[in-house]
């Protein structure tokens, strides 16, 4: 971080916070768990590992593409970065998402079923069951990332916007850093299964901690909003 200006540090702070909030979203993790569940019942462990790796690759690629595209579009339209007015709108959306997460993220108290329309959740579940090849697992990763877009797009737009404010030699690093943090829970799940934990252990952990995770995700959205207000809107 040597040689970084305070402005660059604010940009990195935004990217880190946005990536952490992205990492706390549950759809990608849930879909990977479904894939493990479906695959372990049908295939040998090696095949399941390959499918999980390809799923993670799909999520990774889509995240890199969306963050880079967001940066490119913002850079092309504005020639620099988002205006204060645009940032104020994004802050409004972040605060709204924090409230939505607290009250509507999980469908019921008794399960980890998410806000998704039933048909979409069922489709992802069916695709996880039908996944046989690496390509299908890769596509499932992309599909679950797309389904999470209502919550993640604003985070990726903010990250893309902050990346534009960094020196050119740090921009690719920043995209990769965001992506790495956003997909970290998927690696942790993979590592956890590899260490001998079962799908049931992971799901029980998710159930036990879902309220905590929900609160923290909402707090994350709110913290990011306050960070933008403090350092980008008021701090200019």
Partner 1 sequence: MGIAKLSKKKLHDEIIREAKVLGIHSGTSEIIADKVVLKIMKWREGRSMITEEDLNERLAKELAKYNEDLAYLFKSKDKII
Instruction: State the residues that interact with partner 1 by CB under 8 A.
Output: 26-27, 30-31, 33-34, 37, 40-42, 110-114, 116, 121-122, 124-125, 198-200, 203-204, 207
Nearest to partner 1 of 60, 112 (CB atom): 112
Nearest to partner 1 of 33, 98 (CB atom): 33
Nearest to partner 1 of 80, 111 (CB atom): 111
Give the nearest distance from C-beta 207 to partner 1 in angstroms: 8
Nearest to partner 1 of 95, 107 (CB atom): 107
Give the nearest distance from C-beta 14 to partner 1 in angstroms: 29
Comparing CA positions, the residue from 145, 144, 152, 150 lying closest to residue 124 is 144
Cα dihedral value 114, 119, 120, 122, nearest 10: 80
Q: 102 exposed, middle or buried (CB, 10 Å; 0-12, 13-18, 19+)? A: middle
Give the nearest distance from C-beta 39 to partner 1 in angstroms: 9
Nearest to partner 1 of 14, 112 (CB atom): 112
CA count, 13 A, side-chain hemisphere, 111:
6
Give the nearest distance from C-beta 118 to partner 1 in angstroms: 10
Query: Could you give the angle at which helices 199-228 and 6-23 cross, rounded to 10 degrees?
Result: 150
172-189 burial, b at 16+ Cβ within 10 Å, e below that, comes to eebbebbbebbbebbeeb
Nearest to partner 1 of 116, 229 (CB atom): 116
Give the nearest distance from C-beta 142 to partner 1 in angstroms: 16
Give the nearest distance from C-beta 44 to partner 1 in angstroms: 10
Whole-angstrom distance, CA of residue 212 vs CA of residue 109: 13
């Amino acid at each position: 971080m040597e040689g970084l200006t305070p402005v660059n540090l604010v940009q990195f702070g935004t990217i880190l916070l946005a990536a952490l909030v992205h990492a706390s979203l549950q759809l990608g993790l849930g879909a990977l768990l479904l894939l493990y569940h479906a695959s372990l019942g049908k295939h040998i462990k090696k095949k399941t590992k390959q499918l999980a790796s390809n799923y993670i690759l799909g999520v990774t690629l889509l995240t890199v593409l969306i963050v880079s595209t967001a940066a490119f579009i913002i850079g092309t339209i504005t020639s620099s970065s988002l205006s204060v007015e645009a940032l104020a709108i994004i802050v409004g959306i972040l605060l709204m998402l924090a409230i939505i997460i607290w009250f509507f993220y999980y469908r019921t108290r008794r399960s980890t079923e998410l806000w998704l329309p039933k048909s979409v959740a069922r489709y992802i579940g069916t695709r996880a069951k039908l996944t046989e090849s690496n390509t299908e697992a890769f596509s499932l990763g992309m599909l679950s990332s797309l389904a999470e877009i209502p919550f993640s797009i604003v985070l990726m737009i903010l990250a893309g916007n902050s990346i534009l404010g960094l020196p050119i030699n740090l921009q690719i690093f920043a995209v990769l850093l965001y992506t790495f943090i956003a997909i970290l829970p998927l690696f942790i799940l993979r590592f956890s299964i590899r260490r001998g934990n079962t799908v049931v252990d992971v799901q029980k952990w998710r159930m036990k901690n879902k309220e905590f995770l929900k609160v923290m995700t909402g707090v994350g959205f709110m913290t990011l909003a306050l960070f933008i207000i403090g350092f980008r809107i008021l701090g200019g």
